Chain A
Amino acid sequence: MRESNVALNASTKPSVTSPSPTTDSNRHSLSLGALARGLLIYAAMALIIVVMVLPFLWMLSTSLKPQAYILDTTPDLIPNPLSLESYTQLRERIDLARVFFNSTFVAVVGTIGQVILSAMAGFAFARMSWHGRNVVFTLYLATLMIPAVVLIIPQFILVKSLGWVNTYPALIVPGLFSAFGTFLLRQALLTLPIDFEEAALIDGANPFTIFWRITLPLVQPAIATLVIFSFMGWWNAYLFPLFVARQESVMTLPVALAALQGGPRALTEWNMVMAGGILAILPILLVYLLAQRWFVAGVVSSGIKG
């Protein structure tokens, strides 16, 4: 099944056949069976959307209720009266603009760094054979097996001794070296046929060129996936930023929002908490939608013709 003699500049003719076996080619015309299946598929799609999204609609609706109405235990989805007071209150309590900027900056720089480092390391594991490779890979995996909570104190001491507390490096640098991304990309690379790279090697290319021009474009879907997860990890990170970024000039969103929940000695303003939650979701959703396009595009451009 392997193709040989593949041109390096692969043609971008998209493959018509979907790689998934759930859609047929156009063999059946509009028979009753096909119609029923189509309806079933659309019903399933609708059900999934409802199950996934409805809880968030409830959250949105709570955020649009004025404080006094939250204790109303009637499950009505459309708030009546509608009020934006939770959002304005939110703006008054925390410097939303600054906190949003901090989170965005940290997440963007962190994601770029993490993806690059993971891709390179994954390449070293998946495409190069060297003494001790498996041991080092096991070491990488092992770092994922310790609960992060117990590393907080040593990491905090380290970061403090570097003088990074309440600065961006403290938020970004320690997290750049997660083994998760390396693992993900190594697996993705293992799925790729090695032919193109070997061909390029014969043609005299050096490993970095091969990495950049051939390998990476072929694993764009996996990279897109990693971008999404990496961004999400940075965006939602709470525990370590809590320790190292306590001033509003560098504080990130989850930490700022957590401070809103009041202690045992106050009434939590749930509408404001929900408003914060909604705002926290939107940027990641945006990243996801953008990365999605890359996802699909990656499929299209990986069409290869012999």
Chain B
Amino acid sequence: MSYRFAKRIALLGGALALLSASFIGTIVAQEETTLRYFTFSAAPDYLEELDTIIAGFEEENPSVTIEVETAPFADYFTLLQADVVSGDAPDVFELNYENFVAYAANDTLLNIDDLVTGDAPYYPRAVEAFQYQGEQLALPATFSTVLLYYNADLFDQADIEYPTIEWTWEDARAAAEAIRALGDDVYGLYSPVQFYEFYKKAAQNGDCAFFNAEMTESTINSPACVETVELMVSFLNEGLMPTAADLSGVSDSELFLSGNLGMLVTGIWMFGAFEEATFNWDIQIEPAINQHAHHFFANGVAVSATTDAPEAAAAWAEYLTASETAATVRVEAGWELPALDQPEYFADYLAITPPANRAAVFMALESPVTPPVIERQTEMQDTIGALLTQVVDGELTAQEALDQAKTELDALIQ
């Protein structure tokens, strides 16, 4: 009996030993300087490109090693916050513009004014975007923008002119009507009624602003804003744009790719995906309302305020965002565009087709607009998004929705 007993104890012990063996393997030796870099844009498609850039940096800085951690965008900020909370933030990490303000305001980013060379050729607008209260708290890594894509074949079929830089949304409406007439399952255009499109159309309108200049009150229910929302919703109401029920789970990009959508407003990141299209397509700057405005999305790279190696970290951040190696690797791979004012980097980029009209990407930079950012950003976006959906569903008029939005936004900026 005691033999059996011992055998059982041994089994238990074996299991525990297995556990602790895996523990032992975790003791890691630290040598020289190792930097942890956390990113969302590199995975899953651009890890090799990132390795190339890292190799270039490590060659110039032999005593530094970079360790990469990645996460999908949906989880990235949650994981980053968890790291910050536990006091062990990555040395260098990626941020997008909307989240930059929250991190900057909470003293989690290192001021790198003095740690960078200062002569990297960033776009001025991009550099400013990552300043907070006069301090440079991140460096602009990439930018992207949103443009009008159009299915040239459908335009030919409907016998209408391709979009030009003079177009307004009324021109787009006329074109959409012509294309819609081509068939029951062919739609004219798609420009979603949501937060991002709203603030951009507001800028195109010119008179609509979500908040007043001092950021003490919301002005989202002004007549100009109501007008803007009504414009956005009109495409749905006139049947030129598919509703969620019409799409039935197919994404707008998938609809475009299937050849059943005349015009689509989406970002330049879709170039790669649309290469597979079986029809001719091209891009153009977005139509104006009273003026042009285009999204300016920027990703930045920041150094943690709690890093042990500030000089090395800042050097890596600068290399990643401004070095020739990094820029050329990015452009070649189509991995977003470096926020650098260096036309020679983009010469090759401009030559690739489709789309042929890549110059529109840079033309769009002449009328950039960044989102309104407050500390309780996600709540604001969710609130506005929900109210816009109610307008789309016909539950509220544009005026009612925006009046409600004003009340809620006022509460959020307290």
Contacts and interface: CB of A to CB of B under 8 A. Distances in A.
A71 B250 contact: yes
Interface in A64-80: 67-68, 71, 73
A212 interface: yes
Contacts of B12: 116
Contact of B4 (A116, A166, A213, A247): A213
Given A243-B82, A263-B74, A266-B269, A169 B254 contact: no
Given A167-B23, A167-B25, A246 B71 contact: yes
Interface stretch (A31-39, A253-261, A281-289): A253-261
Contact of A160 (B71, B88, B253, B254): B88
Contacts of A169: 19, 22-23, 26
Interface string A147-160: 00000110011001
B70 A71 contact: no
Contacts of A67: 276
A265 interface: yes
Nearest to B251: A267
Contact of B15 (A105, A109, A163): A109
Given A153-B85, A160-B86, A168 B8 contact: no
Contacts of B74: 263
A259 B43 contact: yes
A261 B86 contact: no
A305 interface: no
Contacts of A247: 69
Contacts of B267: 265
A186 B247 CA distance: 51
A163 B82 CA distance: 15
Contacts of B72: 258-259, 261-263
B26 A242 contact: no
A210 to B, nearest CB: 11
Nearest to B336: A265
A164 interface: yes
B183 interface: no
Contacts of B18: 109
A112 interface: yes
Nearest to A109: B18
B273 interface: yes
B44 interface: yes
Contacts of A152: 82
Interface string A235-247: 0000000110011
A163 B26 CA distance: 9
Size category of the binding interface on chain B: 35 or more
A247 B37 CA distance: 12
B73 A263 contact: yes
A73 to B, nearest CB: 8
B258 interface: yes
A11 interface: no
Interface in B7-60: 8, 12, 15, 18-19, 22-23, 25-26, 40, 43-45
A165 B18 CA distance: 18
A242 B82 CA distance: 11
B79 interface: yes
B75 interface: yes
Nearest to B47: A93
Contacts of A168: 22-23, 25-26
Contacts of B250: 71, 73
Nearest to B22: A168
B1 interface: yes
B76 to A, nearest CB: 9
A160 to B, nearest CB: 4
Contacts of B4: 209, 212-213
A267 B267 CA distance: 12
Nearest to A167: B26
A264 B96 CA distance: 14
B327 to A, nearest CB: 20
Given A242-B79, A246-B71, A267 B254 contact: yes
A278 interface: no
A243 B79 contact: yes
A208 B73 contact: no
A113 interface: yes
Nearest to B27: A163
Contacts of B82: 152-153, 156, 243
A161 B4 CA distance: 39
Given A212-B4, A246-B69, A246-B70, A156 B86 contact: yes
A208 B88 contact: no
Given A157-B85, A169-B26, A266-B273, A71 B1 contact: no
Contact of B44 (A93, A173, A246): A93
A246 B79 contact: yes
Interface string A200-229: 000001001100110000000000000000
A172 interface: yes
B15 A113 contact: yes
A159 to B, nearest CB: 9
A178 B270 CA distance: 45
A113 B19 contact: yes
A71 B258 contact: yes
Nearest to B76: A263
B9 to A, nearest CB: 9
A68 B1 CA distance: 66
B44 A259 contact: yes
A112 B85 contact: no
A250 to B, nearest CB: 9
23 contacts: A68-B276, A73-B250, A109-B19, A160-B86, A160-B88, A163-B26, A167-B22, A169-B22, A173-B19, A209-B1, A212-B8, A243-B79, A246-B71, A247-B69, A258-B72, A259-B44, A262-B44, A263-B74, A264-B73, A266-B269, A266-B273, A267-B257, A267-B273
**Across chains A and B, which 9 residue pairs bring their CB atoms closest together, nearest first?**
A167-B26, A168-B22, A263-B73, A160-B86, A267-B273, A265-B269, A157-B86, A259-B72, A246-B69
Given A116-B12, A169-B23, A208-B8, 19 more contacts: A68-B276, A105-B22, A109-B22, A161-B86, A164-B23, A167-B22, A168-B22, A169-B19, A172-B19, A172-B22, A212-B8, A243-B82, A246-B70, A247-B69, A259-B43, A260-B44, A261-B72, A264-B73, A266-B269
